[in-house]
Structure 1
Amino acid sequence: MKQVSSEDNFIFLLVALLTLLFTVAVVEQFFQGGQLLVVSAIILCLAFSILGVKRQAIYTKSWFGVLLTLFLVTYVISILTNLNLSLLTIALVIVFLMHYMISAFKQVLFTGQVGSNQIIGSICIYLMIGLVWSFVYLFLLESFNGGFSGLENQHWLDNLSSVIYYSFITLTTVGYGEITPTLPITRFFAYMQSLTGSFYLAILVASLVSTGLEQRKRKVN
């Protein structure tokens, strides 16, 4: 079996992300109360993916191990003691996803080469941006009641599927309107995500094209 390396890791990550996003919808459609397994699967998937590529990175392993442990501990404590640690749990997921996304971003833009793996990686980063903002919106929902119309006031895991949908609709600037921000702070994050999605595509495409042209010039010379 071919070992996953930095040369081909993004294809596995893309398949995992698409599978996880589809699983969120399936769980929401047919199974109640299964969103915790989806969140755990997202974290474990990303953790194993990056550890498989960076087997010698002790700092990276320790960092992801600490985040995963804190996530599990806070969730278990919230269940056993009825303490509301939702904000801490969501914040840990955000930090985890952002750290992984930054690592992927560096690999895509600073490897000095543009190939199929880098192109697939750019798609993975775009999907991860949507995931990060999904948990940002969940954090806002827990912090400000009534921050979004179209979302029920319930446990954050029960809103996961709806928030992921809203995040990607906002990221792509489609904006169907079923879910809308109603507070200044939630509106701020909504239009900032739209700007992030637009600038990401413009900057990434320009960077990949310029790097690709430089590669061709070197081959010709």
Structure 2
Amino acid sequence: IVNVIVGLVIFLHDKERSWITVGLLILVVGAYVFRLISAHNNTLDYIRFSAFFVFYIIITLEVVKQVWKAKTVDKSVIFGLMSGYICLGLLAFFAFVSIEMTSPNSFKGLPLDATFPQKASHLLYYSYVTLMTIGYGDITPTTGTAQKASILFAMIGQFYLVIITAVVIEKYIRHQKSK
């Protein structure tokens, strides 16, 4: 819920796109409330999951854009830099969960008899291990789609650290020299 509120705050200054974020929030909350008052419905879970996935795509792009366009580096840019990396991990998580939902057993090392929340917890861990290119080997992709997604997010994580962080450091150094 905190992430959703932060996402809304990011878009409040942009009236053109704020309605998209509010619409996604209404969709997620509506699906959640409907799930509480009715029998379990997989379709609602997929709708809620998809809305969160789209929400985090939008938020991640906006955070990276704001960090990239910042003229000077202050606390908000540093927090934005960290938030962007955390959001990338969440995007990887949603991608990996999507792969596992559409093609079960795409990842070796997930508990076979686990419930969906337990598998999701393991995939959240895997998404950050992949993004940081740690690669412990306890969870490995077994299908072509899972392997390609893992490579993609490992590369995105490295590009983010190298390119976005370098841009922020360069802006900080330039600002310090101009003082």
Matches for 1:40-79 after TM superposition, within 5 Å: 41=1, 45-52=2-9, 55-75=12-32
Three-state SS of the structure 2 residue aligned to 1:119 is helix
Aligned 8 A contact 1:169 1:175 in 2: yes
CA distance 1:75–1:48, shift in 2 (3 Å): closer
- Determine the structure 1 residue equivalent to 2:85: 126
Deviation at 1:139, TM superposition (A): 0.9
Alpha-carbon distance, 1:212 to partner: 2.1
SS of 1:173 mapped into structure 2: coil
Residue identity over aligned pairs, in percent, reads: 25
Q: Which residue identity lines up with residue 140 of structure 1 in the other structure? A: I
Corresponding position of 1:143: 102
Q: Which residue of 2 aligns with 1:215?
A: 175
- The equivalences for 1:69-218 within 5 A come to 69-75=26-32, 80=38, 82-85=40-43, 86-151=45-110, 152=112, 156-218=116-178
Q: Displacement of 1:91 after TM fit?
A: 1.9
8 Å contact kept, 1:90–1:138: no
Query: Structure 1: how far apart are the matches of 2:164 and 2:66?
Result: 13
How has the CA–CA distance of structure 1 residues 211 and 69 changed in structure 2, closer, same or farther, with 3 Å as cutoff? same
Cα distance change, pair 173–186 in 1 and its aligned pair in 2 (3 A):
same
Length-normalised TM-score, structure 1: 0.70
The letter of the residue matching 1:118 is V
Letter aligned with residue 49 of structure 2 = I
Distance in 2, Cα, partners of 1:101 & 1:179? 25
The C-alpha deviation readout for 1:58-85, integer Å capped at 9, x for no partner, is 4444222211222233455567365432
SS of alignment partner, residue 42 of structure 2:
coil
Deviation sequence 1:169-194 (CA, Å, 0-9, x none): 11111111121111000010011111
Q: Deviations over 1:123-166 (max 9, x none)?
A: 11111111111111111111001111122365543322211111
How many residues matched? 176
Taking the aligned partners of 2:16 and 2:161, their CA distance within structure 1 comes to 31
State how far apart, in whole Å, the 2-side matches of 1:144 and 1:107 are. 36
* Separation (CA, whole Å) in 2 of partners of 1:104 and 1:49: 11
Q: Which runs of 5+ in 1 are unaligned?
A: 1-40
Q: Counterparts of 1:136 and 1:54 in 2: how far apart (Å)?
A: 23
